[in-house]
Structure formats: C-alpha cells, structure tokens
Amino acid sequence: MGKVIGIDLGTTFSEVAVFQNGQPQILESGEGERTIPSVVALSKNNERLVGTLAKRQAITNPQNTVFSVKRFIGRRFDDKETQDDIKTLPYETRQSANGGVEIKFGDK
C-alpha cells in the first residue's frame, strides 16, 4: 500500500503527517520544526523559499512573500471579505479568469 499523508494547511502555520505503523506521525522540517509557517517567497535571485526561511526575509521582500493565502481559497475576487483582506496585504492580487483570486508571484 502507498503511504498516506495528511496536510493541515493553516492560515499561519501548516503541518504534514504520515501514517506509519498504524499511527500518524508529524514530519519535521530541515530545522526540526513540526509546524511550518504557511509562507512562500521568491528571493531576488529567483530562489523559492518555503516556511521559516520565507518568513525570515518577509520584510526585505514584501511583494514576493505570500502569506495568509488560505483566506482566498474558495472566495471570489469581488467578495467583500476578499477586498477587505487585499487592502492589508503587501503582495499583488488580481481576478482570475473564473472570478477567483490570483496572486502575482515573481513574473507569473
């Protein structure tokens, strides 16, 4: 049987667990953390950063550091909640073809 993994995607922190020996076990990041900040970033030299590393550099690179993205999942771009959230976020968002929310990340 293939491995079963579970992901808890939180607004600020996320966790990943794998089902081993009949029990779920939370996986640790390279830095030994069991919870990982829900942050991704693209550095100036186009290096993709995830979790703690992305969070550490957030204020030096606010336009390419994406966080709190869970708030937009399942929402439409013109929802009042979406528009209120967008005002406080440093990264660029736009309306997608199906009316959802798209985030500008690097050149994409």
Partner 1 sequence: MAEPEQKSTEEELKESSLVDTLKQQADDYLKGWQTERANLLNYQRGENERISKMLILNERNIILEVLSVVDSFDLMIKTFKDEANEYIQGAKLIYDQLVNFLNKHNCTSFESLNQIFDPNLHEAIETIEDETKENHLIIAEIQKGYKLNDVVLRPAKVKVIINK
Q: Does 58 bind partner 1 (CB under 8 A)?
A: yes
Q: What's the angle, vertex CA 60, arms to CA 49 and CA 40, rounded to 5?
A: 25
Q: Which of 53, 91, 93, 101 binds partner 1 (CB under 8 A)?
A: 53
Taking the complex as a whole, the smallest distance from the CB of residue 1 to partner 1 amounts, in Å, to: 17
Chain positions 13 to 52 lying near partner 1, rule: CB under 8 A, are 31-32, 43-44, 49
Q: Is 3 in the site for partner 1 (CB under 8 A)?
A: no
C-alpha R_g of the chain: 16
Tell me the residue type at 99: G
Q: How far is the CB of 73 from partner 1 (least distance, A)?
A: 26
68, 85 contact by CB (below 8 A): yes
Shortest reach from residue 81's CB to partner 1, in Å:
30
